[in-house]
Amino acid sequence: MKITYKLISGIIVAFGLFGLFGCPSAESNPKEEKWDISKQCVEVKAPDFVLEDLKGNQVMLSDYKGKPVLLVFTATWCPYCRAEIPHLKEIYSKYNAKGLEIIYIDIQESVDKVSSFMAKHNIPFKTLLDKDGKVAYLFGVRGIPTKVLIGKDGTILCMACRSIDSMLDKLFGA
């Protein structure tokens, strides 16, 4: 995968604008009763990437064009990531039939370690290996777990999503 300087600078500028100006949400505006997807910043396209799954197959984010995608950046050693697994399984169970894809992206760990972990925890969603951490860097991941919600059109709806349940309910009209 070739990452150009122009792409990286554009993403850094875009993420900088998110941090500088913020996007309205229920957490940042206490007067708002519910999160409103129409009031989110929806101007930044998610960068495409290619990673391998646990069987060595190459998977591109653009393979999921037309579907909402929840990227979950994680690692097997992370206690918060492990604690989040049951909730992610509930989300998958509730929204996968409605079109949501969850992509678990493990950062800088071996295929053997990750495969064993996924089998032990019976993870039902696609797991990809970010062997060198470049995709995590591309998405501005600073800590794990980090969730990134991407809309059907490839636009980032939420970076480091905290209120993912209300966002998904609104997105899917639940």
Residue 160: its pLDDT value, please? Answer: 79
Confidence of residue 174 (pLDDT cuts 50, 70, 90): low
The domains located in the chain, with CATH, are 5-172 (3.40.30.10)
Q: What's the token pair of residue 100? A: 């949501």
- pLDDT of 109-166, one tens digit each? 999 999 999 999 999 999 999 999 999 999 999 999 999 999 999 999 988 787 889 8
- The highest-confidence range among 2-6, 12-16, 134-138, 170-174, by mean pLDDT, is 134-138
Is 78 among the catalytic positions?
A: no
Residue 154: its pLDDT value, please? Answer: 93
Name 105's Cβ contacts closer than 8 Å, sequence gap at least 6: 51, 71, 72, 73, 74, 127, 128, 129, 130, 135, 136
Give CA–CA dist 145/29, Å, rounded.
Answer: 24
Residue 149: its pLDDT value, please? Answer: 95
Q: What is the mean pLDDT of residues 46-51?
A: 96
Active-site entry in 23, 78, 81, 158: 81
Residue 10: its pLDDT value, please? Answer: 46
Confidence of residue 43 (pLDDT cuts 50, 70, 90): low
Angle in degrees, CA 131, 120, 147, rounded to 5: 50
Residue 161: its pLDDT value, please? Answer: 80
**Is the pLDDT confidence value at 45 over 70?**
yes
